Structure 1
């Protein structure tokens, strides 16, 4: 049974989902359909991925009740001046009346619109267009400003997080403020520099799992939400087959030593 995380607004979110970054509309429709058949219920997309239609098509053809699904999309930087129009556009493409989670994709501090955008997200939640609201790629100063100026904390901060970039200080700050940390690129974009680590290989052998499954289990055992991306049916299935074992504390401590602060994506302060 896959674990469920309770967000601070009371809503429930599956701890493991499917990400569809860099997938075409067709690939996305296929991947989401496969994932739903396998048992995934959480799907993570974004306006900038230009594949929300693919998610919508897959959801339409699936016979899963809406209340069993958890759909996330994101507000792109250029739309921070009008989040409501952006969300309505996303809902049209997704063929949904609401999304379960709407995230500000980047703080874009130089643009200085993220606080006003956050106020709009708060309103849209009150209107029922979104169930939960959160952010992506926010560092501590960005989060502090949201709290100081609106008194509403995001339920989620989705950040780049994998064994080579563990962001422990930010993860701890999030936890202190009841913000769940969600990992994007949880496998470090295909596992480069991670899957070939002697420790990861040793654990894979011990548990009779793949290196990817060991890394995903590390995310789950660390209390993180993970959204590995794949468009391959076998890999989508493999990534979901991680609920029958757990890493012990010593193994989690060993993986903590792999952190070298290696970013694969942009630095939020500089974007």
Structure 2
């Protein structure tokens, strides 16, 4: 039986005022083996943040308003992840038009285990508000449906190594994940977009096996099928931030769809020489 991508995280349970926990079980998603575990856990953290944020955002509880993640800060993978299940905990506060959720992820167990991932997620009502820096958040308000999966990839590189500081890709409209996310308005999940852009950036930098670290990422506009996207990279070493690279994901008309800063520790400065390779990410 195929289970739901959007059900990887259970509903939050309050353990104290403005503090809650939940379970992330990636095996609820039938194609969980096709995607990097850090991408799936990032999605689980987003799901937790969105559901927790609903409890503090005005006029959301009891309504059909969709709440979505609009930004992630200080995302760190601190250890090898395994396959779970995982305990996710966090506290929530309202910050202007957004809710800010500080999150930790551990292995589920009878006793406290080391933190595996942590982040701060900003969530907001779709299409109505902006994140703190004024970046607009856009999304639909159609509720998700269950779906069956197959082996279609979610992303396809279109210009993987044509230039050293940029690469291009498209979202595969045939990927069944888009039937759930969302019906009538297909959008690639922001967590998987970030993971894909991170992976391609790591390949471009010539580093492998690095643990996921994102200083800051903003979901500005949805990433959808039928559009050519370009990810541009800029080394921030000259700005006094070694190991950090700003990424800007944009479409051909110049609209920015996502942007932020990746953090790679213990690497040599500069971008690697382009290679003649192509990569797909399946879902």
- TM norm. shorter chain > 0.5: no
TM-score by length of 1: 0.29
TM-score by length of 2: 0.28
Which has the larger share of helix? 1
Greater strand percent: which structure?
2
